[in-house]
């Protein structure tokens, strides 16, 4: 089984990683887990002309690596085989694209991430993934 787990550094995302690890332990063959961290760069596009080329991408990659650190540690401790994917762009779209292109069997994600007020206006990433993905989506509190 291939499981895609969305990670944003929040407590709910770490709970999703724990869920994926527990699910993997219950299967006859361990699941392969892929952690995905995506950051939306649309709010940073206006500053591109004021900063050196590549510095925004580097900054977003550093943020993703920090978000993934605790999740990777948890999966290592549980002995769950895993890898990671870092994407830039609309977060929900990136999760759904990776799930589709990687032929994942399941998407697991926290029901509440770090996005806050914008969720009230635009809808949460979890809601968008759940409504767009063709795979089953498990939302973990």
Residue-range domain boundaries for the chain: 2-140
> How confident is the model at residue 131, as a pLDDT?
93
Whole-prediction pTM value? 0.86
Architecture per CATH, domain 2-140, reads as 3-Layer(aba) Sandwich (3.40)
> How confident is the model at residue 102, as a pLDDT?
97
Per-residue pLDDT tens digits of the chain, which is 141 residues long: 999 999 998 898 999 999 999 999 999 988 999 999 998 876 556 555 566 656 667 877 888 899 899 999 999 999 999 999 999 889 999 999 999 999 999 999 998 755 554 444 445 888 899 999 999 999 998
Q: Where would I find the H helices in 27-141?
A: 55-78, 91-101, 117-122, 125-132
Cβ count near 22 (within 10 Å): 11
> How confident is the model at residue 59, as a pLDDT?
74
CB 83 within 8 A of CB 35: yes
Treating both helix axes as pointing N-terminal to C-terminal, what angle do 11-26 and 55-78 enclose, rounded to 10 degrees? Answer: 40
DSSP class of residue 84 equals E
CA distances from 93 to 62, 81, 130 (A): 21, 25, 11
């Amino acid at each position: 089984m291939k499981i895609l787990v969305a990670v944003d550094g929040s407590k709910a995302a770490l709970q999703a990683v724990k869920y994926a690890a527990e699910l993997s332990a219950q299967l006859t063959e361990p699941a392969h887990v892929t952690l995905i961290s995506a950051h939306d760069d649309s709010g940073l596009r206006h500053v591109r002309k004021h900063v050196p080329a590549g510095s925004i991408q580097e900054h977003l990659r550093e943020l993703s690596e920090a978000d993934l650190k605790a999740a990777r540690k948890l999966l290592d401790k549980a002995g769950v085989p895993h890898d990671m994917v870092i994407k830039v762009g609309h977060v929900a779209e990136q999760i759904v694209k990776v799930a589709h292109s990687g032929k994942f069997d399941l998407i697991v994600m926290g029901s509440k991430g770090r996005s806050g007020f914008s969720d009230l206006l635009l809808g949460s990433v979890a809601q968008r993934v759940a409504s767009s993905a063709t795979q089953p989506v498990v939302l973990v509190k």
